[in-house]
Amino acid sequence: MNHEHHNWVSPSLGREMHIEVFGHAGARMLVFPTTLGSCYEWRDRHMHEVLADHLDNGWLQMFCLDHVHDESWYNKQLHPGARAWRHLQYDQYLSTEVLPFTEGMNRNPFVIATGASFGAYHAACFGFRHPERVHRIIGLSGMYDVKSMTEGYSDLNVYSCNPFDFMRHEQDPARLSAQLSRRAGVVEHGLFLGLTTDLIVASADGVEHRTA
């Protein structure tokens, strides 16, 4: 099985970050660690052995990621808004550094984000923030309302990192289409982008006719 370790000083974060890679081809799977984990967590838990058939056959390639938990959500010395800002810098690291790095190794267009516990939050947050780039989210025993980490505080930064909030208010049709299409089991949805000119919306307040 192909196994590589990579690290570089991230311009987005201003610190060194590490990635463990398992496999040589297939869907690119971003693996986020738990609260106390690291990029070595899935290796230490022998997950590459559990998924050996998928990795050896080129169906899946794992990119096990580092985190900045101690500088963001778990740094209680920071204001909650500052914790969220550090997380947004981590999001930039993922989108502008990690994804291009994985694509440079493997041109497979299908991207999966996964993780357990707090890693599931990371997978959902990144996947829902970038539905055009992440094609499947697998969250295991996750927490998706990050306000539990901010003592209930919210501002624009916290809102932008909180799937529980920003998903409820998502109204961009193209993003909604991508998010629906990424859900396992969805064959087709009813948004009909580029096809409809009129929309009839019925609610307790009556019927509304909307036009394109």
Can you name the residues that pair with 201 across neighbouring β-strands? Answer: 208
* 73 belongs to a structural domain: yes
Confidence of residue 210 (pLDDT cuts 50, 70, 90): confident
Which stretch of 46-55, 140-149, 193-202 has the lowest confidence by average pLDDT?
193-202
List the domain range (segments joined by +) for residue 152: 3-169
Q: Is residue 191 within 8 Å of residue 180, measured between CB atoms? A: yes
Is the whole-model pTM more than 0.85? no
- How many domains does the chain divide into? 1
What is the rounded average pLDDT of the residues 73-87?
95
* 124 belongs to a structural domain: yes
Type of residue at 89: Q
* 118 belongs to a structural domain: yes
* 67 belongs to a structural domain: yes
Write down the pLDDT at residue 186. 55
* 180 belongs to a structural domain: no
User: What's the count of helices (H) and strands (E) in the chain, helices before strands?
Assistant: 9, 8
Distance CA 125, CA 50 (A): 26
* 72 belongs to a structural domain: yes
Distance CA 193, CA 21 (A): 37
Can you name the residues that pair with 200 across neighbouring β-strands? Answer: 209
* 182 belongs to a structural domain: no
What is the rounded average pLDDT of the residues 159-172?
84
CATH number at residue 81: 3.40.50.1820
